[in-house]
Structure 1
Amino acid sequence: MRRLFTAGLLLTGMGLAACSEETDETAPNYHRDVAPLVQQKCGGCHVEGGIGPMPLQTYADVFKNRDAIRAAVESRTMPPWMPSNECNQYHGDSSLKDEQIQLLSRWVSEGGREGKASESPGVKAPPAGGLSRVDVRVSMKEPYTPKTGDDYRCFIMDWSVDQTAFITGFQAEPGVASIVHHVIAYLVPPAAVSIYQQLDNNEAGPGYTCFGGSGAGQAAFLGAWAPGTVGSDFPEGTGIKVAPGSKVVLQVHYSTTGHGEHSHGLTAAAEIPADTSALAFKVDSTVTKQAVVMAFLNPAWFQKKMNIPAGQTDVVHRYSSDVTKSVGFATGGLFKNNMPLTFHMVTPHMHKLGTRIRLDMTRADTSNQCLMEVPRWNFNHQNNYKLLQAQVINPGDTLNLECHWDNSAPGAVDSNWGETTSDEMCMSFLYITQ
């Protein structure tokens, strides 16, 4: 009897403990606690057919992938927010706070309770970047099948707006992302269209070869795409002017031999799919300030003066310049030299050996102000970052760029500046007004 009584007490205690656990309001559950966080931080990309590798839209989706989610958020590899928030603040910060990581980890550790759907606050996923609206879309006129290896091809696209307008948002749409290493869009003014058309006429098939740029001068930079980049509206009240009769040239770097992170590693020409890439734009008739996109880098690096020796774990190259002195040349006379410039958006760029990149300003009084720092560079998570507070650089201030690389992997060879995937770069695109 004593043993039966003791066993009964134990069973009763276990039942009470289970009941207490089930009604513990502090224990996180999916619908009330986890779903809103996952939707806010992950749901825009992790949808069926989205850029995320798996959908995370339902309890079943998240529960199935709970261990991978915990590992990713604890290591801060997901969500893929690469800039250092100690350097600057940016629009669209998708990083997780410490308490949010702790919440997800606790939910997984405690078994991934579902809770009740009625507890959900009804948070919807934000869009995975992209434009607030699409006013103009331009596309390659016919599919193009790249050559085996690294193939650089430019395609002339018609601009359909028949009056002066301003591009106020940009989004690239790679047709076959597995073979597209990067794309760069250029704006060709009406006076230079015949030059580009002749380049196209000189070669058979769609487009023309354009290693290293648009193939000719007089074209302004519009925007770029690399793995991880999403489109976005430009800062409010700003835009890039487009005259009627202009053309858009799209340079596409195809990588089909396995060098690119997303490449299939195709070797036979018959296996290479045909690509039809496109561009989407938000367009307005007027803006408060005209903007341009300027590339910041050391011109000497073009002459192979950015050596990254094999076997080195931390190779560093730096460049500094007072950009106000040369902005007139860089913008084709649109902006005046020796006048203040305002930085609105920063787009850092390196290739696969890169480990860290930083862009900052040294003021005339020697104080330093950080614009952008990516302390854990990842080639597959590149993006355009809009500064929460636009920054002004004055004459006498210098803009500083610093890049780090690790070239110590087994079988490494010396690397230098170049456009192929096995080469490297160190640069930042700057969206500026004056």
Structure 2
Amino acid sequence: MTRWISFAAVVAVLMLGSAPAVAQDHPTYNGGVGQLLLDNCASCHRPNQVAPMSLLSYGDARPWARAIKAKVASREMPPWFADPRFGTFENDTSLSDDEIATIVAWVDAGAPEGDGLAPEPPVFSEAGWSHPEGLEPDYVIEFPIAWHIDADGETPNFNLYTPLPFDDVMQVSATQVRPGNYAATHHITTGLVNLPVGVKLGRGAAWAGGPMVDYVPVEDPDADPEEVAAAEEAEREQQQDEDARDGRNDADAEERARARSGFGPYIPGVGAELVKPGQKREIRGDLFDYIIWNLHYQATGKPETARPAIGAWLASDDAENFERTMFLREYTSENEQLVAPPPLTPEERRAAAASRQVGQGLNPLLAPIPPNDANWTVTGIGAFQNDAFIQSLFLHMHVRGKDVTYVLTRPDGTEEILLRVPNYSFDWQFEYDLTEPVFAPAGSTVKAIARYDNSRTNRLNPAPHKEVYWSEQSWDDMFLANVSYTLKDGEPASED
């Protein structure tokens, strides 16, 4: 919200004054500038989207011309944060120097419309979906209630659950979580889960001390105590097995994580998530009965409502190779040594799981960020057990996030910087999709080296004098790093 308020303030100043005379040899809207705006801005700058104004026509764009020039010339818009020296990315939204010069020259000439036909805007979903071809979803799951957000105050991060409305395997080409209210939505994540034996959906507190709502897991008074005890013992044995693997990305763990991942997230900058050609993504209704909605809202200064929805576009082919996700295990640096947090006890694990999506690698026992530290470092590390192709990279931090570098180290010791984000933005959290997959031989490791600024020099820091702990609440911080990849041979090699 702050981003758009400050943007509007800049616009109010920039729009003052008279436009210079139009020169015929300058760019015009119909002569190319309009197409640039449609190609690079319209996905957000259109009705029912996150941007504050539409830029679908000359009439839309002309009043904002000087503001457009200021934001484009400073490279604030379109938003993109990857260092161009490392890697190329197919979802790179940045403009070239020539494109920026064209827009600047157009505004300096008075933002003329020009002769000829106006460029046709892209076809967009009437319901606000963001598929790049303007397609409506084949399948929509709408949250059953509208959530009310107070005008001020803080709403904790919380989970609600709804039944998954199908019991077979859905193969998809794209999915999207549409927030229903962009201004008031901090984030939404979704996952697929089964409720423990002895638990059912009912009415309860949305969070401790929160409002009473439906779609909350509650104790089932009719459950068989012996069945409950047997299920708890089986869960303990499975967790002990996972702990013994010490975070290795084994095939079973990958399968469970992939199946639980659900329909994806909504975070700023994320629209429809497309499956790449030749790859496969399944929604496993045959394995899971419920969707977990991890919801986090923020006050905007006025009462708001939000009713999120999930959209799924069905796949027309039957690809065999899954895109897999590796969550990187987090370490802090002490005396130039990497230090892992202690393992969670079963009780701590259940408490942590209650506040986040199943399958995410958020450890509340990670050492806190010290007060007034401008360069606190957390390193995430993952290892490939099989030959793989790295497809994309993602890191989620909060407002103290400063920068991140992804480094691939191959078994022969050679290193490659896959991605560097020198100025991380909490407002725009991209998954960086590599233009060409990067080969990682079995035995390779990948590191995400992230720095946090908990000092007064960070203008977004709400409390530089305090230690910062790890949770999904916005006043804390997060380190959630993952790598999406495919296996070279489609299936993992067996492990002894």
Q: If the length of structure 1 is used for normalisation, what is the TM-score?
A: 0.77
Aligned to 1:328: none
Matched with 2:6 is: none
2:371 matched residue in structure 1:
310
2:180 to 171, 175, 185: 175
User: Where in structure 1 are there 5+ consecutive unaligned residues?
Assistant: 1-20, 211-215, 257-262, 325-337
Query: Tell me, what secondary structure is at the counterpart of 1:382?
Result: coil
> Contact 1:179 / 1:255 at 8 angstroms: preserved in 2?
yes
Q: How many Å apart are 1:115 and its aligned residue?
A: 1.7
Percent identity reads: 20
Partners of 1:303 and 1:44 lie apart in 2 by 36
Match of 2:144 in 1: 141
Is the CA contact 1:56–1:62 (under 8 Å) kept in the aligned structure 2? yes
1:253 aligns with 2:290: no
- Residue type matched to 2:57 in 1? T
Per-residue CA distance 1:154-211 (angstroms, 9 max, x = gap) = 2223243x543323322111123333322111123xxxx352892534736322379x
| Aligned residues of 1:415 and 1:424 also touching (Cα < 8 A) | yes
Contact 2:56/2:121 (CA < 8 Å) preserved in 1?
no
Picking from 202, 205, 208, the partner of 2:213 is: 205
Looking at structure 1, the residues matched to 420 and 130 of structure 2 have their Cα atoms a distance apart, in angstroms, of 21
Question: Partner of 1:166 in structure 2?
Answer: 171
Give the counterpart letter for 2:144 in structure 1.
K
Residue in 1 aligned with 2:321? 289
Q: Does 1:264 align with 2:308?
A: no
Residue 152 to residue 429, structure 1, CA distance change in 2 (3 Å): same
Counterparts of 2:31 and 2:216, CA distance in 1: 55
Per the alignment, residue 422 of structure 1 pairs with 475
Distance (Å, rounded) in 2 between the aligned partners of 1:165 and 1:433: 20
Cα pair distance change 1:194/1:318, threshold 3 Å: closer
Contact 1:29 1:112 in 2 (8 A): yes
Equivalent of residue 189 in structure 2, options 184, 187, 205: 184
CA contact (8 A) 2:172 2:281 kept: yes
Cα deviation code 1:14-52 (max 9, x no counterpart): xxxxxxx9774x322222031121111112221233322
SS at match of 2:448: strand
Aligned residues: 376
Residue 195 of structure 1 aligns with an amino acid whose one-letter code is P
Gaps of 5+ in 2: 1-20, 205-211, 219-234, 240-255, 331-339, 342-361, 457-461, 488-496
Change (3 A) 1:55 1:275: closer
CA distance in 1, matches of 2:198, 2:309: 19
Q: 1:58-117: CA deviations, max 9, x gaps? A: 323322111111110111110112223322222232210011111111222222222213
- Measure the CA separation in 2 of the matches of 1:131 and 1:294: 27
Q: CA RMSD in A?
A: 3.0
Measured in 2, the distance between the counterparts of 1:247 and 1:377 equals 37
Q: Judge conservation of contact 2:81–2:422 (CA < 8 Å) in 1.
A: yes
Measured at CA, do residues 197 and 430 of structure 1 come closer, stay the same or move farther in structure 2, by a change above 3 Å?
farther
1:108–1:178 distance in 2 versus 1, CA, 3 Å? closer
Distance 1:373 1:126 in 2: 34
Q: Which residue in the other structure is 2:78 paired with?
A: 79
Whether contact under 8 Å (2:29, 2:58) holds in the other structure is: yes
Q: Larger radius of gyration, structure 1 or 2?
A: 1
